[in-house]
Structures are given as C-alpha cells and as structure tokens.
Amino acid sequence: MSRTIKRGPPPRRPAPRRKQPVRKVSRMDRLVGALPVSEPTLRRAATWVVTGGVVAIGLVVATALGLPGMIGDAIGEGAGRAGFRVTGVEIVGQHHMDSNTIRAVALDQPSLAMPLVDLAHIRERLLAYGWVEDAAVSRRLPDTLLVTIKERTPAAIWQDNGQLTLIDATGALLDPVDRNAMPDLPLVIGPGADRQEAGYQKLLAAAPALKPRVTAATWVGNRRWDLLFDSGETLKLPETDAADALVTFAEKDGAHPLLGRGWLSFDMRDASKLVARKPGANVAHAIPDDETSTAPAGLAADIQMGADT
C-alpha cells in the first residue's frame, strides 16, 4: 500500500532589500561641520543676528517716520531685555592711556541697551584725552563695545614754571613727567614752547647731523630758540631764518669741529657773524693767532669772543 506524501508550499525567498537613497551633503553642510562650534550654537548666533537686524531696522523706520523718541527708546530697551545689553568693553591699541578710564567713558551711558548706546558721543569724549589721537567705537553683538584707540607718540618734554609735561610732535599735552623717571626725549623750555613744537621739529630736521646732539631748547621771549648741546654749549639762533642759521653752524662744525672744544656759547643772532664765548670771558675781541688751536682755521676773522649782546 503506497503512501501519498503531501508537500507544503515552497519556502518564500526573502524580498530583496531596498537601496536607501544616498543623502547628498551640501557644501554648506560641509562648511558648517568644519567650524569649531556646534550646530546649536550656530543656530543661536543666527537668531541673535536676525533679532539684532530686526531691532536695527525698527529703529531706522521709527526715526524715518519721525516717531516720538520714547518709541525708539522702547524698542531699544526691548532689545536690551532680549539680551542686547552692554556688559563688557574690548579695547584695542591702548598702551599708555589708562584702560579703566576708557571703560568708564564707554559705559557712562543713560542706557546700556545696545541699540541706544551713543557711539559718536563716546568717541568725542575719548578725543578730549591728550593721549588719544583718534578713536573708533563699534558694537560687537550681542553685549560688547569695541573701542580702538590710536595713541599719540611722545616727542619731547615741556618744562614750564618747574612743571614737566610729555608732549607729542604737535605740542599736544600727554602726561605729567616724574623728574625721577625722565624719558630719553628732548627738553623744550619756556612759556609757549609746547605750541612751538611742530616748528621746533622742523628746525631740527634742517640739520640732521646736529639733531642727536641737541638735548634741550629754550623758547626765548616767544620769538626765538636757544639750543643746548650734549657737550654743554648753547647756540643762540635768530628770530628769522633760524633754520638757515642752524644749517650754517652745522656746516662750520662739520668742516672744523666747534662743539666740544671748550666754548661756552655761540651767538648767531646777527647773520653776518658767529660770536663765540669762553668761560669767564667778558670782553669781546678777535681770537688771536695763538688760540686758533681751539677755533677752526680760517674762521678767526668772523668768530669773536665776548659777552652776550
């Protein structure tokens, strides 16, 4: 007797797996991924930027439409409550001026809401300080003011009535000077000498060989200069054509040294002659031949020794 074997249905083959589409990475996604900040941080930053732009546009529109100031103030204060409020000051370019003074000026505002900070007023106040030649103030959202300072360069020390003050090449007053810590700068002496600094620098530039040897200059009678050299002599210059006189003196000193040869002073107030003085001399006379060792050969005729005139 034969058996009938029933066969079940053939096993089902597993359905082929569908290929997942490859997600294309855009250039922007690659750029964002390369940044050293997380994507949530970038989203927050973008939100701040957009909010700041909306606030700025709101203020511009309010101003253009002539809306009352209180509306603009309200918008600005709203931005402050949203996080756009000054909490810090970043300073660039400051070397001599007190940084605390700069911060105090920047933060001295009726409101520290970022849109309401008066940048032009901050700059104007900073320019009133001697050290500040120029300044720029800008907002760094959301909460920082950026102050960029260009300081003046010290050029000389001005002495007047016993007071010493650092000045730049234009005569701008920078800072008091401590006698025990004098910087290595030329000294200009006398009332008004600070206002003559630009002309004094031009005078020295006319004779560059002598400039390093000038240690001090006195502004006499608000009309002319007396120069003091590092070897101790004083050169009295005329009221007019002082640069020409200094060049002439430099040429004579270059041909036959005058400085460091025992003279006390030289007087060129009379353009026709060079008058020299030795310590203790009080009578004017021509330098005799036996003293030509201390005077340049060939100049005995136009160099005289005597009292100041």
Judgement on whether residues 142 and 200 belong to the same structural domain of the protein: no
**pLDDT at residue 255 tops 60:** yes
Rg (CA), the chain: 39
Please identify, among 151, 170, 187, the residue that sits at the C-terminal boundary of a domain: 151
Q: What type of residue sits at position 225?
A: W
Contact 130, 97 (CB under 8 A): no
104: left (phi over 0), alpha (psi -120 to 50) or beta: alpha
Say whether 304 sits in a helix, a strand or coil. strand
CA pair distance 236, 266, nearest whole angstrom: 6
**pLDDT at residue 70 tops 50:** no
Judgement on whether residues 216 and 144 belong to the same structural domain of the protein: no
Tell whether 16 is covered by a domain: no
CA pair distance 36, 20, nearest whole angstrom: 31
Greater pLDDT, 300 or 44: 44
What CATH number has the domain bearing residue 207?
Answer: 3.40.50.11690
Judgement on whether residues 192 and 278 belong to the same structural domain of the protein: yes
- Where does 196-284 show beta strands of DSSP type E? 214-220, 224-229, 234-236, 265-267, 274-277
Contact 129, 158 (CB under 8 A): no
Report the length, in residues, of the chain.
309
Angle subtended at Cα 272 by Cα 270 and Cα 278, rounded to the nearest 5 degrees = 65
Judgement on whether residues 221 and 259 belong to the same structural domain of the protein: yes
pLDDT at 86: 87
Judgement on whether residues 109 and 199 belong to the same structural domain of the protein: no
Q: What is the mean pLDDT of residues 145-174?
A: 94
Judgement on whether residues 273 and 168 belong to the same structural domain of the protein: yes
pLDDT at 292: 41
Tell whether 3 is covered by a domain: no
Read off the pLDDT of residues 16-35 as tens digits, 9 standing for 90 and up.
666 555 555 566 556 545 55
112 burial type by CB count under 10 A (0-12 exposed, 13-18 middle, 19+ buried): middle
Contact 295, 287 (CB under 8 A): yes
CA pair distance 143, 121, nearest whole angstrom: 19
Average the pLDDT over each of 50-64, 139-153, 186-200 and give the range with the smallest value.
Answer: 50-64
CA pair distance 216, 273, nearest whole angstrom: 24
Domain extent for 73: 44-151
What CATH number has the domain bearing residue 80?
Answer: 3.10.20.310
**pLDDT at residue 308 tops 70:** no
Please identify, among 109, 126, 151, the residue that sits at the C-terminal boundary of a domain: 151
Judgement on whether residues 120 and 171 belong to the same structural domain of the protein: no
pLDDT at 254: 92
Q: Tokens in use for 259?
A: 């400085």
Nearest partner of 168 among 194, 191, 146, 139, judged by Cα: 194
Judgement on whether residues 263 and 190 belong to the same structural domain of the protein: yes
Tell whether 33 is covered by a domain: no
- What's the predicted TM-score (pTM) here? 0.63
Contact 217, 188 (CB under 8 A): yes
